[in-house]
Structure 1
Amino acid sequence: MVGLGTWSLTTAALTLLLLPRSLEECGHISLSTPIVHLGDAITASCTISQNCSRLSPGSQIVWKLGTELQPGGRQQSLPDGTQESTITLPHLNDPWVLLSCYLRWGNSLQILDQAKLQAGYPPATPHNLSCIMNLTTDTLTCQWEPGPDTHLSTNFTLKSFKSRGNCQVQEEAIPDCVPKDGQSYCTIPRKHLQLYQSMGIWVQAKNALGTSVSPRLCLDPMDVVKLEPPTLWALDPSPEVIPPQPGCLQLRWESWKSSLYIDQKCELRHQPQLGGAGWTLVGPLPSKTPRHELCGLLPSTVYTLQMRCIRWPLPGHWSDWSPSLQLTSAQRAPNVRLDTWWWQKKLDPRTVDVQLFWKPMPLEEDNMHIQGYLVSWRPSGQAGAVLPLCNTTELNCTFHLPSEVQEVALVAYNAAGTSQPAPVVFSRSGPPLGGLHTMAQDPHNLWVGWDPPSLQPQGYLIEWSPGPPSPRGSHKTWKTEHNGSIAGTLLHENIRPFQLYEITVTPMYQDTMGPPQHIYAYSQETAPSHAPELHLKHIDRTWAQLEWVPQAPELGKSPLTHYTIFWTNAQHQSFSAILNTSSHDFVLPDLEPASLYHVHLMASSQAGATNSTSLTLMTLAPGESKLHIILSMFGLLLLLICLCGAARLCCRPSRKNPLWPSVPDPAHSSLGSWVPTITAEEVFQLPSLWDPSMPPITKITVLEEEEKKPGPWESNDSSGTCGLPTLVQAYVLQGDPRVSSIQPQSQSGISDQVLYGQVLGSPTSPGQGHYIRCDSTQPLLGDLTPSPKSYENLWFQTSPLKAAEPLVPNQEDDCVFGPLLDFPLLQGLQVHGVEGLGGF
């Protein structure tokens, strides 16, 4: 409403500025009362002065309350020529609102005047008036509650006067105390006070609708004094002070200086630093003896202490609680029961290694403070001697004992003393349990049950640790059940989900223990640790076959229930299929050709699911598969044709010129098997085949004599000549092959001229033979086929057109030809059987 009123005033001011000069100060609003009780009626009138007489008599006056038009205005003309409109608002429900008077000017409204209306309540009677005398500042502060809001500006005033007795007679007025805006308290300074004398005090509230006063107080300022809180201290130890008993603590305090000479009493409250503990009040405590011993507390416990004081026996106010003080109560000797457990290992026939475990179980509801534990034993034959084995702050100890020692003692101690000794007997002679079984209650609890032994024990010791069995004593949790009639217990300490545990139960008897029994159990089974890995087996344009190897069952894992295979294309469209656990392959259907897909497999069980690694594959493009098939078939057909052709060439018996000669295997034969043997005396003498003085001879023909020749390898004399084998028909190219290869070609245009040489003479005739060169153009071979190619080894074959003429060995010929250095396919072979030839 305040914002609305501000907007209306601004609008009205702007409207007045825009009005014609003749309308200035033309209208005026009169109210019956500017402030009314909220909900009451109010009457207002708007008068148009004579300055506006030139306006038409029919001009209409309109009312607005806030922004809303208000009907019911009664307009009349007065005898002096003024126009007046009166309106009555039956209920004013807004604490603050603007009432506006308008003149209808054509089709618009022109504002004439505005008035602010206020509504509220008379002030409520202030109540709960109280005053406190502060000795530190020597001031009297009074406070009150003002009551509900009146919606009007209300002024409060603290009024007081000096008086005697019951404040019936006012003796001296005290200046009024006016609080600051929004405050409901006020302070009277010391100069206006008179201690130990009565004062009358009240509060007056006043606003536009009325005045109210609070009930009057009659008090002595010292009767409402509020002391400052004391300061707490721990009592320092001294020879004169007896140390506190267990469960007690000692403290002292100091009062504020301004209240040292005022009789007072105090209260003390304490609270242990334990969760959920409340305050305990102790008092009253005499202030003349500023020390106190507080007992009945938990030993070795930290307590928070606070204290407050009040003037006593005269009236006054309690001080605030003092700042907190933390003290620890005195210790007491540990009052605990020590549950024990042990393992034994025999080191040698005379020594035993013992690992002892224990747990302190408090026998009272107190904060047990233990500084350490002591294990000792008494040697036999030494009365009163106690030998310590270990002194530790841990809950286990390892020591060596003679094999005959069957008992040790365990105690807990602190500065106040030791607990009752707990005997530990190393003996296992009781009957065993009848059976052991477990059941998983939930992921964090395991129930272990057993069949009681034949003799009821005093209790049971249960221990458990993660399995497979861990080293003895490591990561073990154990507890003792002292009720021998129970047949099971719930394990909830250090139980985690999906974990295998080894549980051991041992019966405990009076002076011995039974043999332990073991069992393995899972707190809860878990999902498989990993899924099988996918492999691509076959792929085509619209399908792909995948396979995987099922995983072996895992210990502690739930068995698989099904597989789910997912594949996603490049457009992030996902597809899936559910398979049973017996499946090990799957065909992805309806794939797009030449498309990329991401595939993964999910293995699921009742405990959860696990995904495999992702496999990315690309389908074949259209026509790619047929092209592969066509190329494969063409390659097979070509290979088959080649094999058939090779077989026909090799196996045809009518071929005159096979691709290769029938030559014995050089690795398993010798030249002597198909060349006549040469005696040891015969030595081949071969002149230089590359003698440049000799003319090039392309062919040498040996002419035989008709007479009968001697034996094939018969020597004539010791002239140093040698003979060639009869069966050898040789063509020796004399001269440098490289030179002959670059000889200029013949210009005849028919064929290249080939020179031949003819040897004249007899192998048996003495002397040197003669040869004649011949200008012949015949090919080197005797057949009609063209000259052999570079890869055809045919020059050593006989002519198929005529029978080979036997060559008669001649010494000269042998000397000319020499050994078969240029014989094809035999160069570099080791020839056996012809000793004269040596190896070539």
Structure 2
Amino acid sequence: MVGLGACSLTGVTLIVLLLPRSLESCGHIRISPPIVRLGDPVLATCTVSPNCSKLDQHPKIFWRLQAEPNQPGDRQHSLPDGTQESIITLPQLNYTQAFLFCLVPWGNNFQVLDQAELRAGNPPSSPSNLSCLMYLTTNSLVCQWEPGPETHLPTNYILKSFRSRTDCQYQGGTILDCVPKKRQSNCSIPRKHLLLYQNMVIWVQAENMLGSSESPKLCLDPMDVVKLEPPLLRALDIGPDIVSRQPGCLWLSWKPWKPSEFMKQECELRYQPQLEGANWTLVSHLPSNKDGFELCGLCQAPVYTLQIRCIRSSLPGLWSSWSPGLQLRPTIKAPTIRLDTWWQKKQLDPETVNMQLFWKPTPLQEDGGQIQGYLLSWSSSDRQGQEVHLCNTTESSCIFHLPSEAKNVTLVAYNSAGTSLPIPVVFLENEGPAVTRLHAMAQDLDSIWVDWEAPSLLPQGYLIEWGLNSHSYNYSQKAWRIEPDGNTTGILLEDNIHPFQLYRITVAPLYPGIVGPPVNVYTYSGEKALPHAPELHLKHVGRTWAELEWVPETPWLGMIPLTNYTIFWADAGDHSFSVTLNISFHGFVLYHLKPASLYHVYLMATSRAGSTNSTGLTLVTMALESSDINIFLGILCFVLLFITCAAAWFCCKHSRKTFFWPNVPDPAHSSLSSWVPTIMTEETFQLPSFWDSSVPSITKITELEEDKKPTHWDSSESSGTDSLPALVQAYVLQGDPREISNQFQPPSGTSDQVLYGQVLGSPTSPGVVRYLRCDSTQPLLGGPTPSPKSYENIWFHSRPPETFVPQPPSQEDDCVFGPPYDFPLFQGLQVHGIEEQGGF
């Protein structure tokens, strides 16, 4: 926004400068007032002279504030002399600095006639936290203050003061005002304008174009605010005899700053050891001048940092700054420690055996003295008691060749102040009972708990030794300690323990003058997960399956046992699957895969410490063969055909009125009525249009010529007189239609004729269907039989002998029934057609 405004401002200014001479004095802006408070309204007036020949007689005047859109004024009117005047009121000026432009239309654009700068800000607030210090180095009174919030306007600050001989209630002599440098909030009053030991009143005045303000007045005596310079601190040289008698001390001296020597001062000293986390220690109420000062009771830190500062004594004043730090090393004292020792034989070659001695210092006091090195020596008898040095080192162990005649071997710790008490070293033999049931277990990743059962002879203490177990047993990596309490049966090892490492731990009892046999135990400092899972291998692959196998990792100490395996596989569509297996599995078969598909497989081994993945395995299943596809399609077609037939049978089961072929029962165990195809009562139809006195009723139809599936029609359709259905092309049993319900009952004992009729034609042949009938006196079975055979109809068994009465012949003397195979008994057995009747 600022950049855009500056760019627009530059462009508009350039346009104004390049205005034609005829437009320079056409417009003029007046602003009342030009500087306002931030957010206050601004009233502006723009007048356009009538003498501008380039403009219209009554031009429309517009306004623009910075880069905001053009807008007309609140009102525009003409003055008596023809001058056009536009007045605008800006309700809020939110810019601290902005330009207001007066414009008129000029072609397709606008022409700037005049511009005016607007300023907005805030009146200065009262300065606060006024304070003054009298510096003897510059011999001036320096005062500083906080100016307060930004005003966004040029603001002047002036430090004002005057002298006062009373308690600052009355003004005395004036002091020249002090004007600070630009953008600074401090000012100095020189010594020549001050009267020492006399009060003065000081305040700060702030002023800008919107107002002024003053800070609270400060009443002070310049000498009461004197800030001294720190004294000069230095180390004091002391003779070596004093240093040896008083270890752990520092000797110092200091002198005050020379311009303040006439003042009575009080000082304080602070010191801090250069150790991590150390604090400052303060020593107060020290004189301002000291030629020698002894600071003792210091710990054995390598270096101390010391500083000093001073203030006027018994008078108001301010502490000086701390002096620059002085680094000194305190005098040291001889070590006061106990040295625990342990040794091992080190076989260099078959003929040379060296000794390796370990020691561990234990301070006997809070400050046991600084140790600069260790010395191992022995006294030789043939050298008249002169000591022979075996080892001189700063380490806590050394390897040396022990002479066979060496008996009295001693170890001391030393520094520049002396040596510790000599510690005799005894190379003990392994005798006595050893500890039993030694057990070690990792407590956490940085510690190991070791416990044992005390031997039968209670020892004085125990020696515990531990270190990493490796093929090259490095004694420098070993740690050890002596437990002085013989009743101890367990200890927590925390020194020199690293996670997931195999440690060898040795425990040996210490008896008076001898050491018991050492006992070893191995343990890990922590268990970790398997570094990598077993590698997957593809054993066999098929079209919808793949067999995987892997070789389990060889268990190794320190590894947490595995709990399960998890196999993940995903296809090309990122559909993932998984299965969790027992740790006893070494292979698995993936089923239900898609043929000719790509799969990514991973194996994850899981334990209590976490899970580890194997490298990925990519496999492609085999494609289907053509024979498999044919078999699959054949099976599919068979299933579809079976389903279609079953559905058709089910759908037509209830709508079928007759059978595809007559239901032929056993002739020896059935009546005549059962030799005719069964038709349900609701399927009986009537032919009323064919009834007359000479034509009997048609009560039953048996299909003769074609064995076709009958077509079902509703009984209501049978009442029509136009034509008969195509099904009515069969033998017709004639009788009273009212006796339909009894049509299958045996004939009565009367000698009534059995009438037959024949339908000529085919259900499928076109043309008119004709019906021929004749009277016949032929009995159904050729004649009555008193003793029917087993194959005859059973209703003959109960009938008495009857006499057939011949009927008078009708107009149709001859019946055109054809051959005897149209007999109803044979008609029921006819299935395949007339060509097969020769067997009857």
| TM-score, normalised via structure 1 length | 0.59
Q: CA deviation at 1:502?
A: 1.3
Aligned residues: 610
Q: CA deviation at 1:250?
A: 0.8
For 2:214, give the aligned amino acid. Answer: V
Q: Could you tell me how far apart the structure 2 residues matched to 1:357 and 1:121 are?
A: 81
Q: Hey, what does 1:248 align to over in structure 2?
A: 249
- Cα deviation per residue 1:632-663 (whole Å; 9 max; x = unaligned)? xxxxxxxxxxxxxxxxxxxxxxxxxxxxxxxx
Q: Contact (CA 8 Å) 2:161, 2:177: kept in 1 or not?
A: yes
- Cα deviation per residue 1:398-439 (whole Å; 9 max; x = unaligned)? 567799999966443334344455565636556533312222
Q: CA deviation at 1:385?
A: 11
Q: Contact (CA 8 Å) 1:298, 1:366: kept in 2 or not?
A: yes
Q: CA deviation at 1:394?
A: 3.0
Q: CA deviation at 1:369?
A: 0.9
For 1:507, give the aligned amino acid. Answer: P
Q: Hey, what does 2:300 align to over in structure 1?
A: 299
Task: Confirm whether residue 118 of structure 1 aligns to residue 120 of structure 2.
Answer: yes
1:28 and 1:556, CA in 2 relative to 1: closer, same or farther beyond 3 A? closer
User: Is the partner of 1:51 in helix, strand or coil?
Assistant: coil
Q: Could you tell me how far apart the structure 2 residues matched to 1:77 and 1:170 are?
A: 61
Q: Hey, what does 2:35 align to over in structure 1?
A: 35
1:154 and 1:510, CA in 2 relative to 1: closer, same or farther beyond 3 A? farther
User: Is the partner of 1:493 in helix, strand or coil?
Assistant: coil
Task: Confirm whether residue 129 of structure 1 aligns to residue 93 of structure 2.
Answer: no
For 1:34, give the aligned amino acid. Answer: P
1:507 and 1:164, CA in 2 relative to 1: closer, same or farther beyond 3 A? same
- Cα deviation per residue 1:259-283 (whole Å; 9 max; x = unaligned)? 3333322221111101111211212
Task: Structure 1: give runs of 5+ residues left out of the alignment.
Answer: 567-574, 617-840
User: Is the partner of 2:322 in helix, strand or coil?
Assistant: coil
Q: CA deviation at 1:201?
A: 3.2
For 2:452, give the aligned amino acid. Answer: W
Q: Hey, what does 2:519 align to over in structure 1?
A: 517
Q: CA deviation at 1:15?
A: 4.9
User: Is the partner of 2:344 in helix, strand or coil?
Assistant: strand
Q: Could you tell me how far apart the structure 1 residues matched to 2:555 and 2:64 are?
A: 93
Q: Hey, what does 1:502 align to over in structure 2?
A: 504
Q: Could you tell me how far apart the structure 1 residues matched to 2:586 and 2:286 are?
A: 87
For 1:356, give the aligned amino acid. Answer: L
1:460 and 1:89, CA in 2 relative to 1: closer, same or farther beyond 3 A? farther
- Cα deviation per residue 1:112-149 (whole Å; 9 max; x = unaligned)? 543413232334234323133233x3333222221222
1:388 and 1:18, CA in 2 relative to 1: closer, same or farther beyond 3 A? closer
Q: Contact (CA 8 Å) 2:127, 2:145: kept in 1 or not?
A: no
1:563 and 1:7, CA in 2 relative to 1: closer, same or farther beyond 3 A? closer
Q: Contact (CA 8 Å) 2:233, 2:326: kept in 1 or not?
A: yes
For 1:208, give the aligned amino acid. Answer: M
- Cα deviation per residue 1:719-752 (whole Å; 9 max; x = unaligned)? xxxxxxxxxxxxxxxxxxxxxxxxxxxxxxxxxx
Q: How does 1:635-784 map to 2 (within 5 A)?
A: none
Q: Could you tell me how far apart the structure 2 residues matched to 1:161 and 1:537 are?
A: 105
For 2:334, give the aligned amino acid. Answer: A
1:26 and 1:379, CA in 2 relative to 1: closer, same or farther beyond 3 A? closer
Q: Could you tell me how far apart the structure 2 residues matched to 1:367 and 1:186 are?
A: 57
Could you tell which deviates more after superposition, 361-370 or 175-184? 361-370
User: Is the partner of 1:261 in helix, strand or coil?
Assistant: coil
Q: Contact (CA 8 Å) 2:4, 2:67: kept in 1 or not?
A: yes
Q: Could you tell me how far apart the structure 2 residues matched to 1:13 and 1:167 are?
A: 55
Q: Could you tell me how far apart the structure 2 residues matched to 1:218 and 1:546 are?
A: 96
Q: Could you tell me how far apart the structure 2 residues matched to 1:79 and 1:531 are?
A: 103
Task: Confirm whether residue 73 of structure 1 aligns to residue 77 of structure 2.
Answer: no
Q: Contact (CA 8 Å) 2:335, 2:368: kept in 1 or not?
A: no
Q: Could you tell me how far apart the structure 2 residues matched to 1:554 and 1:241 are?
A: 64
Could you tell which deviates more after superposition, 20-29 or 355-364? 20-29
Q: Could you tell me how far apart the structure 1 residues matched to 2:37 and 2:210 are?
A: 7
Q: Hey, what does 1:180 align to over in structure 2?
A: 181
For 2:123, give the aligned amino acid. Answer: Y
For 1:266, give the aligned amino acid. Answer: C
For 1:206, give the aligned amino acid. Answer: E
Identity in percent:
51
Q: Contact (CA 8 Å) 2:255, 2:288: kept in 1 or not?
A: no
Could you tell which deviates more after superposition, 183-192 or 195-204? 195-204
Q: CA deviation at 1:368?
A: 4.2
Q: Could you tell me how far apart the structure 2 residues matched to 1:390 and 1:458 are?
A: 29
Task: Structure 2: give runs of 5+ residues left out of the alignment.
Answer: 570-576, 619-840
Match of 1:466 among 447, 468, 472: 468
Q: Could you tell me how far apart the structure 2 residues matched to 1:30 and 1:344 are?
A: 105
- Cα deviation per residue 1:535-582 (whole Å; 9 max; x = unaligned)? 999999xx999999988666666778879999xxxxxxxx99999898
Q: Could you tell me how far apart the structure 1 residues matched to 2:492 and 2:242 are?
A: 52
Task: Confirm whether residue 48 of structure 1 aligns to residue 47 of structure 2.
Answer: yes
User: Is the partner of 1:100 in helix, strand or coil?
Assistant: strand
Q: Contact (CA 8 Å) 1:158, 1:201: kept in 2 or not?
A: yes
Q: Hey, what does 1:207 align to over in structure 2?
A: 208
For 2:6, give the aligned amino acid. Answer: T
Q: Hey, what does 2:370 align to over in structure 1?
A: 369
For 2:436, give the aligned amino acid. Answer: G
Q: Hey, what does 2:9 align to over in structure 1?
A: 9
1:228 and 1:328, CA in 2 relative to 1: closer, same or farther beyond 3 A? same
Q: CA deviation at 1:304?
A: 0.5
Q: Hey, what does 1:263 align to over in structure 2?
A: 264
Q: How does 1:308-457 map to 2 (within 5 A)?
A: 308-343=309-344, 355-366=356-367, 368-374=369-375, 392-397=393-398, 410-419=411-420, 426=428, 431-454=433-456
1:459 and 1:77, CA in 2 relative to 1: closer, same or farther beyond 3 A? farther
Q: Hey, what does 2:145 align to over in structure 1?
A: 144
For 1:359, give the aligned amino acid. Answer: K
Q: Contact (CA 8 Å) 2:134, 2:227: kept in 1 or not?
A: yes
Q: Could you tell me how far apart the structure 1 residues matched to 2:400 and 2:89 are?
A: 107
1:75 and 1:537, CA in 2 relative to 1: closer, same or farther beyond 3 A? closer
User: Is the partner of 1:274 in helix, strand or coil?
Assistant: coil
Q: Contact (CA 8 Å) 2:130, 2:143: kept in 1 or not?
A: no
Q: CA deviation at 1:248?
A: 1.6
Q: Could you tell me how far apart the structure 2 residues matched to 1:57 and 1:274 are?
A: 89
Q: Hey, what does 2:495 align to over in structure 1?
A: 493
Q: CA deviation at 1:44?
A: 1.0
Could you tell which deviates more after superposition, 193-202 or 356-365? 193-202
Q: Could you tell me how far apart the structure 1 residues matched to 2:533 and 2:207 are?
A: 86
1:288 and 1:63, CA in 2 relative to 1: closer, same or farther beyond 3 A? closer
Q: Could you tell me how far apart the structure 1 residues matched to 2:304 and 2:108 are?
A: 85
Q: Contact (CA 8 Å) 1:198, 1:220: kept in 2 or not?
A: yes
1:469 and 1:485, CA in 2 relative to 1: closer, same or farther beyond 3 A? farther
| TM-score, normalised via structure 2 length | 0.59
For 1:45, give the aligned amino acid. Answer: A
Q: Could you tell me how far apart the structure 1 residues matched to 2:347 and 2:109 are?
A: 117
Q: Contact (CA 8 Å) 2:268, 2:285: kept in 1 or not?
A: yes
Q: Could you tell me how far apart the structure 2 residues matched to 1:113 and 1:471 are?
A: 94
Q: Contact (CA 8 Å) 1:528, 1:610: kept in 2 or not?
A: no
Q: CA deviation at 1:175?
A: 3.3
